[in-house]
Chains A and B, each alone.
Chain A
Amino acid sequence: MMKFLMMMIFMIPLCFMKNMFWMVQMMLMLMMFMFMNLGVKLNLFCNLSYMMSCDIMSYGLILLSIWISILMIMASENLYKMDYYVNFFLFNVIFLLIMLYLTFSTLNMFMFYLFFEGSLIPTLLLIIGWGYQPERIQAGMYLLFYTLFVSLPLLIGIFYMNNEMNCMIIYFLKFFNLNNYLLYISMILAFLVKMPMYFVHLWLPKAHVEAPVSGSMILAGIMLKLGGYGLLRLMIFLQEINMKLNYIWIVISLVGGFYISLKCFCQIDIKSLIAYSSVAHMSIVISGIMIMNYWGFIGSYILMIGHGLCSSGMFCLANISYERLHSRSLYINKGMMNFMPSMSLWWFLLMSSNMAAPPSLNLMGEISLINSLMSWSWISMLMLMLISFFSAGYSLYLYSFIQHGNYYSGIYSYYTGVSREYLMLMLHWLPLNILVLKIDYSMIWF
């Protein structure tokens, strides 16, 4: 595990050299390849070194974060062309990746907390540094303070546990059972805000709208999954109190998922629509984790990975339109099919994956989550049906509003898709739909 960390650290000087934009990306790809061959075949922690290790759960998420970082660099070619602080951008991406890597691979709970919060800083810098409008300052503040506000209780909870058990190794958590109401709240709330749960999701649409494409991609792709990862890890020693109190979060998430889906129909900003749709998806993930059964855990894990690829791809698409029309409004991005018929295919493919059409990972995840929630209470069927139905509704609304019909008459210049963009979208879509063939790997991690 250390070798990958070293590799990333020594890539930092590379960022500051001239014309190394694609080189950094290539190195990340190399690292991706090496990491894929790591050979995590067990459901236990393996490759232990220096308090770092990975099991299947962190393996998948680390893979996802490296993959999204590669695609982030690929998507922000505009920065390279404009020479808009490219070196710092690359440094930021690498720094973020290091943070994420450490978050997912560390065994120590305090270290986990440290890097969990540490990954906020490069994200904030991405939004404030490379965002487009002045409102990005406010968006950054929202992002920072929403997540920081509830993370201090988490820190205290972790120290409390250290005091109680003299142990902060994540693996050993499963041998403890702490039935403490305050500990429960303080441990869980940070992740719920990060996911984000309904009611505390306000930072997400704001941050997405103001972030540059790379910021949106990493936010939707990985940052939301940090919360899910934390919950999956820390659920285990709170089992008893989980049984008593988890239904609160399940209910909030199920009803909230339905409400958020309805809110998606009122959006006229492409990026904010995608952001709201990811809140809706994350709400099912939360309820799947909170349900505390096997189907729910694997379902939320699969849906997190699927959603990471899918929503990141959709943000790429939104950016592709933005680079051409300089607007995110649905009223201006119209009739794109007449300009970019091939891009329309990718819009449709990613949109259909977003509404959990087969054979995407999203469908697999959604099926397992529905299974888990239905085995908890079959009344939850109603909300699940509504969420699933409206997810199709807003996905199709977004697709057909942008692609179908007459074009906005104020367009006077345009250029068609370039192969970099097609490659980028393919790299989003292909794993999303091919991984389902070997889905049993993600089902044995517990």
Chain B
Amino acid sequence: MNNMKYSICFISFFFLFMMMMVNFFFMIYFIMNDMVILMEWEIMSFNSLSIVMSILLDWMSLLFMMFVFLISSVVIYYSKSYMQSELNLSRFIILVLLFVFSMMLLIISPNIISILLGWDGLGLVSYCLVIYYQNLKSYNAGMLTALSNRVGDVFILIVISWMLNYGSWNYIFYLEFMNNDWEMMMIGSMIIMAAMTKSAQIPFSSWLPAAMAAPTPVSALVHSSTLVTAGVYLLIRFNMMLLDMFFLKLLLLLSGLTMFMAGISANYEFDLKKIIALSTLSQLGLMMSILSMGLPDLAFFHLLTHAMFKALLFMCAGIIIHMMNDIQDIRFMGGISLYIPLTSLCMNISNMALCGIPFLAGFYSKDLILELVSFSNLNLMIFFLYYLSTGLTMFYSFRLMMYLMVNDFNLLSIFNLYDEDYIMLKSMFVLLFMSIISGSFLSWMIFSYPYMIYLPFNLKMMVIYVSLVGGMLGYFISNMKIYSVNKFLMTYNLSNFLCLMWFMPNLSTYGLSYYFLNLGQSLLKNIDMGWSEIYSGFGMMQVMKKYSVFYNVYQMNNFMIYLFSFIIWMFILFMMLMFNN
């Protein structure tokens, strides 16, 4: 394990990186020739229905695969150092590799049955990764994650049976053709629900911050860039069908609210990883909402750039947590830019990219999205949700920066901050490079023609305005004067509500499990140990016992009575025989 060359991390890194290169070249080839390859392997067929394992390779899947390979390779390289003292390093790396594998299966299959292989696999492997640590927190978080994702799995299972109407499960063939079918409406709404669970949209969003109990490399790979975008990816594949559905409008509202809610909660959160998770949630809301406005290629664009800088952000957070002896609370941190300048550099660049500072990765996608939002025909509420969330992104990013880098040094009296962990840093530089250039390089590559945008000056500058206001608020709010009353305490109830993600974690854990567990308990008591028992096994035994005791009493009398009754019975029988004739 000590030898760098042959450790499991290095080998996996090497192969994943090679796969990334291969995918990159294929992607260029496919995008230049506008090629699509669809492969099918028939597993079984009867009644003219066939279950097939299909593989769809086009530039979209290849590009996504390339990004997943890139992030997973650097994350595995990074865990070489992050998980150094771990007893079960091999288990960890194998789980991550399994995760990458199921992600690939999800990306390449356009068939609703074969997509289950990746979809369920993602849920299960991510469950294993979340409960990788042995504490109670990760136990609960893992259960919440797995069960929230299972809701999506169940929806996909039901979609399979709805697809039976069309005689095949290759959904891509039916998306346009069967667009206005009632069955297709059901399929569409269920697919949207499934995607909402994976991408943690509003009713299901409590699992994403909870899943931060996983090791940080997992958060960097799974909970920021790949798993959570699986739902968005699925909807991108399904977008043809969704365009004129009512449910899509609901999705627009819900995802806008998710974006807004996550942006606000991130301002109240103090756990470093949870802040980043909430910002992921807000960006997912952005992707979903732009998708539900009928612009899937923009959602895909933002998905990819977001994957880059968010993975980088998590890796920086990982370094900080690693050096601070597992402290994740940003109230313990401060002034670390003086101690770890290189990591702080990466952190700042990724934060800037997240905020959409011009010419970093996030700028290209986010600015385009927002301009198209102002360009399109929307109501005021959605418009405000978009722009407020953009401002909030700046808000919490600045707050985070202030807390981490600018404020007084606030750590424990003994600490060990160092910036010479080159394994982690090297892996971060790859993503640093990508989070600077990926926006421009993707925007030149994946759009066949540029979007024409025509806006009045103030609307065009709106992004800059809200960002500036957000940044200033972030600075002022996190600056605390000695005589000031805490703003949290001033509006305690409202703050509590916003801080705890609109009480969603409570509602989706206690709120649900309480009734079901109670129902189960009372069923067990009333039916299994009650009525069922009385009316079958136990009750029958009691009845039989009662009667046999009764007959025993009859038999235990004097022998003469016994004989006498025998004679009476014989007499009655005799009489009956006689009178019958």
CA distance A135 to B110 in the complex (A): 54
Structural contact, B121 and A335, CB atoms closer than 8 A: no
Structural contact, A374 and B536, CB atoms closer than 8 A: no
Question: Which chain A residues lie closer than 8 Å to B88 at the CB level?
Answer: 341
Structural contact, A370 and B161, CB atoms closer than 8 A: yes
Which of these, A341, A371, A436, A444, contacts B46 with CB under 8 Å?
A: A444
Please provide the chain A residues from 347 to 400 with a CB less than 8 Å away from any CB of chain B in the complex.
Answer: 348, 352, 357-359, 363, 366-367, 370-371, 373-375, 381, 384-385, 388-390, 392-393, 396-397, 400
Query: Among the listed stretches A109-117, A161-169, A262-270, which one makes contact with chain B, having 4 or more residues with CB under 8 Å of it?
Result: A262-270
Structural contact, A400 and B143, CB atoms closer than 8 A: yes
- Contact A400-B523, Cβ < 8 Å, known A266-B517, A358-B121, A370-B157: no
Structural contact, A352 and B124, CB atoms closer than 8 A: yes
In the complex, number of A-B residue pairs with CB atoms less than 8 Å apart: 126
Does residue B349 face the partner (Cβ distance < 8 Å to A)?
no
Which of these, A265, A370, A444, contacts B517 with CB under 8 Å?
A: A265
What per-residue 1/0 map shows which CB atoms of A275-317 lie under 8 Å from chain B?
A: 0000000000000000000100000000000000000000000
Question: Which chain A residues lie closer than 8 Å to B113 at the CB level?
Answer: 367
Question: Which chain B residues lie closer than 8 Å to A374 at the CB level?
Answer: 158, 161-162, 164
Smallest CB–CB gap between A407 and chain B, Å? 10
Please provide the chain B residues from 516 to 542 with a CB less than 8 Å away from any CB of chain A in the complex.
Answer: 516-517, 519-521, 523-524, 527-528, 532-533, 536-537
Does residue A49 face the partner (Cβ distance < 8 Å to B)?
no
Structural contact, B164 and A375, CB atoms closer than 8 A: yes
Q: Which of B47, B128, B142, B521 has the most CB of A within 10 A?
A: B128
Structural contact, B47 and A294, CB atoms closer than 8 A: yes
Does residue A19 face the partner (Cβ distance < 8 Å to B)?
no
Question: Which chain B residues lie closer than 8 Å to A337 at the CB level?
Answer: 134
Structural contact, A363 and B116, CB atoms closer than 8 A: yes
Does residue A439 face the partner (Cβ distance < 8 Å to B)?
yes
Which of these, A203, A266, A444, contacts B521 with CB under 8 Å?
A: A266
CA distance A338 to B88 in the complex (A): 10
Q: Which of A264, A363, A400 has the most CB of B within 10 A?
A: A400
CA distance A341 to B88 in the complex (A): 9
Interface of B is mostly: helix
Smallest CB–CB gap between B277 and chain A, Å? 22
Does residue B238 face the partner (Cβ distance < 8 Å to A)?
no
Residue in B closest to A199 when the chains form the complex, CB atoms: B532
Q: How many residues of B contact A (CB 8 A)?
A: 49
Does residue A132 face the partner (Cβ distance < 8 Å to B)?
no
Which of these, A199, A262, A375, contacts B516 with CB under 8 Å?
A: A262
CA distance A389 to B330 in the complex (A): 37
CA distance A397 to B520 in the complex (A): 14
Q: Which of B121, B127, B160, B528 has the most CB of A within 10 A?
A: B528
Structural contact, A259 and B154, CB atoms closer than 8 A: no
Question: Which chain B residues lie closer than 8 Å to A322 at the CB level?
Answer: none
Structural contact, B537 and A146, CB atoms closer than 8 A: yes
Does residue B117 face the partner (Cβ distance < 8 Å to A)?
yes
Residue in A closest to B94 when the chains form the complex, CB atoms: A345
Structural contact, B157 and A367, CB atoms closer than 8 A: yes
Question: Which chain A residues lie closer than 8 Å to B117 at the CB level?
Answer: 358-359
CA distance A335 to B136 in the complex (A): 12
CA distance A335 to B157 in the complex (A): 32
Which of these, A263, A371, A393, A443, contacts B528 with CB under 8 Å?
A: A263
Does residue B331 face the partner (Cβ distance < 8 Å to A)?
no
Does residue A83 face the partner (Cβ distance < 8 Å to B)?
no
Does residue B187 face the partner (Cβ distance < 8 Å to A)?
no
Smallest CB–CB gap between A45 and chain B, Å? 20
Query: Among the listed stretches B144-152, B214-222, B473-481, which one makes contact with chain A, having 4 or more residues with CB under 8 Å of it?
Result: B144-152
Residue in A closest to B164 when the chains form the complex, CB atoms: A371
Please provide the chain B residues from 70 to 123 with a CB less than 8 Å away from any CB of chain A in the complex.
Answer: 88, 91, 113, 116-117, 120-121
Question: Which chain A residues lie closer than 8 Å to B32 at the CB level?
Answer: none
Which of these, A203, A341, A363, A443, contacts B91 with CB under 8 Å?
A: A341
What per-residue 1/0 map shows which CB atoms of A80-95 lie under 8 Å from chain B?
A: 0000000000000000
Smallest CB–CB gap between B129 and chain A, Å? 12
Smallest CB–CB gap between A432 and chain B, Å? 15
Please provide the chain A residues from 395 to 446 with a CB less than 8 Å away from any CB of chain B in the complex.
Answer: 396-397, 400, 404-406, 436-437, 439-440, 443-444
Does residue B2 face the partner (Cβ distance < 8 Å to A)?
no
CA distance A384 to B135 in the complex (A): 33
- Contact A371-B161, Cβ < 8 Å, known A358-B121, A400-B143: yes
CA distance A393 to B127 in the complex (A): 12
Does residue A178 face the partner (Cβ distance < 8 Å to B)?
no
A396-B127, A397-B143 are known; give 10 further A-B pairs, CB within 8 A. A199-B532, A202-B537, A259-B527, A265-B516, A337-B134, A374-B164, A385-B158, A392-B147, A393-B150, A437-B43
Q: Can you identify 20 A-B contacts, CB atoms within 8 angstroms?
A: A200-B536, A202-B536, A203-B537, A262-B517, A262-B519, A262-B523, A263-B524, A357-B121, A357-B124, A358-B117, A367-B113, A370-B160, A374-B158, A374-B161, A374-B164, A390-B516, A400-B142, A404-B134, A405-B136, A439-B43
Q: Which 10 A-B pairs have the closest CB atoms?
A: A262-B520, A440-B44, A374-B161, A392-B150, A358-B117, A371-B161, A370-B161, A357-B120, A263-B524, A388-B154
